Amino acid sequence: MTIHHNPVNNNRFLVRRAVLGLQVLEDKTNIQQQWETDIMKRRKVKSICGKISRSSVVVIGDLMLDRYFWGQVDRISPEAPVPVVNVERTNVRPGGAANVAWNLISLGCEPRLIGLLGKDGQARELRGLLSAQNISPEYLVADSKRVTTEKIRIVAHNQQVVRADFESDGEVGGNVLGRLGKVIDRAIEGAGAVVVSDYGKGVVTMPVMDRVRELCDAGNIPLIIDPKEGHFDLYKGAWALTPNLKEAGGFYNMKIRNPEMLDKVGRDLLRDLEAHSVLITRGEEGMTLFEEGKRSRHFPTRASEVFDVTGAGDTVISVLAAGMAAGASIYDSIELANAAAGVVVKELGTATVDAKELAGSFPV
Tell me the backbone φ, ψ of residue 275, rounded to 5 degrees.
-95, 155
pLDDT in tens, 43-92: 898 999 899 999 999 999 999 999 999 999 999 999 999 999 999 999 99
Q: What is the pLDDT of residue 337?
A: 92
The answer to whether the beta carbons of residues 321 and 328 sit under 8 Å apart is: no
Q: Which tens digit of pLDDT belongs to each residue from 208-218?
A: 999 999 999 99
Residue 287 backbone phi and psi in degrees, to 5: -140, 150
Q: pLDDT tier at 220 (50, 70, 90 boundaries)?
A: very high
Residue 349: pLDDT over 60: no
Query: Catalytic residue positions?
Result: 314
pTM of the complete model: 0.84
Q: Is the dihedral of CA 226, 192, 364, 351 positive or negative?
A: negative
Residue 20, pLDDT score: 38
Which pLDDT score, from 0 to 100, does residue 310 have? 53
Alpha-carbon span 115 to 279, nearest angstrom: 24
Query: Would you tell me the crossing angle of helices 97-107 and 121-132 to the nearest 10 degrees?
Result: 10
Rounded-to-integer distance, Cα 299 and Cα 321, Å: 17
> Could you give the CA distance from residue 352 to residue 104 in angstroms, rounded to a whole number?
9
Predicted local distance difference test score (pLDDT) of residue 341 = 84
3-state secondary structure (DSSP) of residue 146: coil
Once rounded to an integer, what is the mean pLDDT over residues 228-245?
91
In the DSSP assignment, the letter for residue 2 is: P
What's the CA angle centered on 66, arms 65 and 72, to 5 degrees? 150
Residue 59 sits at the vertex; the CA angle it makes with 204 and 316, to the nearest 5 degrees, is 100
pLDDT score of 13 more than 90: no
The reported pLDDT for the residue numbered 359 is 81
Local structure of residue 277 (DSSP, 8 states): E
Domains along the sequence of the chain with CATH: 41-64+95-149+168-360 (3.40.1190.20)
Average pLDDT, the chain: 86
What integer pLDDT is reported at residue 347 of this predicted model?
Answer: 63
Q: Cβ–Cβ contacts within 10 Å for residue 155, how many?
A: 19
- What separation, in Å, do the N-terminal and C-terminal C-alpha atoms of the chain show? 68
Q: Examine the pLDDT at 151 and tell me if it is beyond 80.
A: yes
> How much is the average pLDDT of 98-115?
95
pLDDT tens-digit profile of 152-208?
Answer: 999 999 889 999 999 999 999 999 999 999 999 999 999 999 999 999 999 999 999
Q: Please give the pLDDT value at position 285.
A: 84
Q: Confidence band (pLDDT; 50, 70, 90) for 135?
A: very high
Yes or no: say if 224 and 313 are a contact pair by the CB < 8 Å rule.
no
- Give the β-pairing of 150-156 and 159-166: antiparallel
pLDDT at 85: 96
| Band of residue 33 on the pLDDT scale cut at 50, 70, 90 | very low
Residue 279 carries which side chain, given as an amino acid letter? L
Q: Please determine, for residue 19, whether its predicted confidence score (pLDDT) is greater than 60.
A: no
Cα–Cα distance measured from residue 266 to residue 262, given in angstroms and rounded to the nearest whole number: 6
The greatest distance separating any two alpha carbons of the chain, rounded to the nearest whole angstrom, comes to: 90
Q: For position 42, what pLDDT does the model report?
A: 84
Q: Do residues 228 and 251 lie in contact, with contact meaning Cβ atoms separated by under 8 Å?
A: no
pLDDT of res. 15: 38
User: pLDDT digits over 252-291, tens only?
Assistant: 999 999 999 999 999 999 999 999 999 999 888 889 999 9
